[in-house]
Structure 1
């Protein structure tokens, strides 16, 4: 596998195996980010005036991103992160007491809190279904979801790629069935863009949010929200500012700055630095320049090989078949131990940055592999685990 570590700014003394949390930005992309920031600081008034360039630059990023996502530029809006985007959706839905939000036991903790907050304010309730493990068949997942639908289900909230378990959920049939029943579909795609192929128009979910700072490798603070055109008028900004218009929900209304009310209302929310979002085209170009599909395939092989080596050592089964495992991110069950101690030992003794945590009745080490990682680093991880795990598991 070609190593591209020279393109990244990561500390050379740390074995960085946690791309999945916040990503890592390549040096040329980061330099483009700084160029935008310098342009902002050189003339802030001109830069932040939508009529003097900003609105067009924001659209340029939407156009570049939309091509990757299989949708139209006016169906997406650039935001700071997927959690923020999904909060916009969750707090825009007109939920009533007793309405059910159906979700799974694999969801991201911050979004579990988001829905708990919404339920506290609306009287809606969360209903959680367990996804059978190991996940080896699409019907396992879809049947579990469909069995959870009731006549009170108003929202289906799913991760496309899960955070804790690093599974790719086959959401297509569940989304289609929810549409037939008049159930809103809200998809957390935080780990998906740049990780697996996406065609949002074909998926036809009502709401879909994704991060660009993870697998697309744009700077932190770049993400998008996709909303089906028929539902864009129902979206309410969390912050009401210059981009909002009181006529936003009337058919045919133009936005304040010439875009749709959906875009202007969410993009133009007070003073903020939009440089991360404006750098998305450069991140996409970096991927194209370095044949990132080929790089990603090599990363997938390295991730799967590493997980197989850990399984051979621990004797513990995988959480899914390869079909439903995130290509470049694998959650590897290890013998039960204190995950905080394991994480500390891996970092302090071996300088390995990797997440370790408990999920349900599993202790998990989640490895992410990106173009800057090497086989030598994976050897280092396997060696560290073989040395530390017998010591820690003996204490439990």
Structure 2
């Protein structure tokens, strides 16, 4: 069903996803149609295909199709929002110390230009409760806080954050909320209308199984007129403007191959036809069942309660190693296991992801490989 190398133990769905054959074939069909008559496709057919894709995704993430645009990835989405914020000297963006590295760099760039401050509030590990996260997060709030930026599922630590509660309080405080949901669509339930953020970005090419380069940026209506295009093109001061300046500015930014976006109806149909929610539930159970086992092997402690409140289809286990890059390469080259060894805040984590193509045997192979490495090398320390 998937195009993954069958000889490799693939435990890293979280980084870039994996696309099933039927969806990839749909993707290639759009590319072939584009190349068979580029002018007809781009000038006539594309808008109809895009409308169908947006309608399908709007139903899946529960918002109006006029309130989001497709983007290649969340980095493009957050850069679009960041460059339109009217923040100045001393204004603060409150976030956590669990954010994705590319996002930290995006905000550091913005702060150097604007004079704003990026406040990485410490969320201590291990997590003991949702209340602990909320209490520690809001300790970073001050009268200068203007924006809340938060990942709903962290990348390195793979933790699910209480974004709904944070959005609710931020709204009461009059703060702008920007949510990075890169790992959310197709992973845990997403209802943007109920979550009610000001800005939200998520990927389709991770847990929704779409081809690479398919994500979206949702913008609440009251902010749409304030968001400048990242690339100025024909939609700016359009000769044939639509009812939405937001869509004009952001949906037509020059020639590109947007076939990945157009696969969205096929992506969602595939998930429904193959009962992917049930498969995801089985995968989540496998993640939880093995977490303590890996902690025990590596002489570490869980970084959160081993429950679905904090852990989904991927989990990060603390690992003591002075050579994380070498360890990752040993697992890949010697054992043919693709699994990330990630660093954050001075700590190192082994993060395994589970999807329908994985089984307990994959995790057993990883476990046995780590056992051998512990016994035969000094790459992993247990004290």
TM-score tier by shorter-chain length is: over 0.9
1:374 matched to 2:366? The reply is no
Q: Is the 8 A contact 1:142 1:171 kept in 2?
A: no
Bigger mean CA offset, 210-219 vs 367-376? 367-376
Q: How does 1:91-240 map to 2 (within 5 A)?
A: 91-240=83-232
1:322-376 CA distance string (max 9 Å, x none): 2443310101112333111110110111000110122224221100111111221
- Residue 256 of structure 2 corresponds to 272
Aligned 8 A contact 1:337 1:395 in 2: no
Query: Which residue does 2:8 correspond to in 1?
Result: 14
* Counterpart position of 1:26: 20
Cα contact 1:306–1:382 (8 A) shared by 2: no
The worse-fitting range, judged by mean Cα deviation, of 305-314 and 282-291 is: 305-314
SS of match in other structure, 2:169: helix
What does 1:265-344 correspond to in 2, within 5 Å? 265-321=249-305, 322-344=307-329
Report the 3-state secondary structure (helix = DSSP H, G, I; strand = E; otherwise coil) of the residue aligned with 1:158: strand
CA contact (8 A) 2:8 2:336 kept: yes
Q: After the TM superposition, which residues 65-84 of structure 1 pair with which residues of structure 2 at under 5 Å, given as runs?
A: 65-84=57-76
| 1:9-35 C-alpha deviation (Å, 9 max, x unpaired) | 011111111100000000000000000
Does 2:41 correspond to 1:47? yes
Cα offset, 1:311, TM superposition: 1.6
Q: Judge which range, 158-167 or 176-185, deviates more.
A: 176-185
Q: CA deviation at 1:139?
A: 1.3
Mapped to 2, the partners of 1:56 and 1:163 lie a distance apart of 35
Are the counterparts in 2 of residues 99 and 125 from structure 1 also a CA contact under 8 Å? yes
Post-superposition shift, 1:115?
Answer: 0.4
What secondary structure sits across from 2:225 in the alignment? helix
Does structure 1 retain, via aligned residues, the 8 Å contact 2:331–2:369?
yes
What does residue 250 of structure 1 align with?
Answer: none
**2:332 aligned counterpart, secondary structure:** helix
Whole-angstrom distance in 2 between the partners of 1:394 and 1:217: 36
Do residues 59 (structure 1) and 43 (structure 2) align?
A: no
Structure 1 residue aligned with 2:335: 350
Deviation at 1:395, TM superposition (A): 11
SS in 2 for 1:148: coil
User: What root-mean-square deviation, in Å, do the aligned CA atoms of Structure 1 and Structure 2 show?
Assistant: 1.6
Please report how far the alpha carbon of residue 179 of structure 1 lies from its aligned counterpart in structure 2 after TM superposition: 1.3
Q: How many angstroms does 1:301 deviate by?
A: 1.3
Separation of aligned partners in 2, 1:195 and 1:337: 32
8 Å CA contact retained: 2:298, 2:382? no
Report the Cα offset of residue 205 of structure 1.
0.6
Shift of 1:256: 4.1
1:135-182 alpha-carbon deviations (Å, 9 max, x no partner): 231211111222211111111100000000000001112111111222
Aligned-residue offset at 1:257: 5.5
- Between 168-177 and 36-45, the greater mean CA deviation after superposition: 168-177
Confirm or deny: 8 A CA contact 1:136 1:323 kept in the other structure.
no
Contact 1:243–1:265 (8 Å) recurs in 2: yes
Q: Please state whether the residue corresponding to 1:89 is helix, strand or coil.
A: helix
Q: Which moves more between the two structures, 179-188 or 343-352?
A: 179-188
Alpha-carbon distance between aligned partners in 2 of 1:256 and 1:299, rounded to the nearest angstrom: 48
Q: Do the aligned residues in 1 keep the contact of 2:288 with 2:311 (CA within 8 Å)?
A: no
Q: CA deviation at 1:305?
A: 2.1
Shift in CA distance, 144/241, structure 1 to aligned 2, threshold 3 Å: same
Contact 2:321–2:381 (8 Å) recurs in 1: no
Tell me how far apart the structure 1 counterparts of residues 323 and 366 of structure 2 sit (CA, whole Å): 18
For structure 1, the residue ranges without an aligned partner over 5 or more in a row are 1-6, 247-254
Structure 1 residue 309 displacement after superposition: 1.6
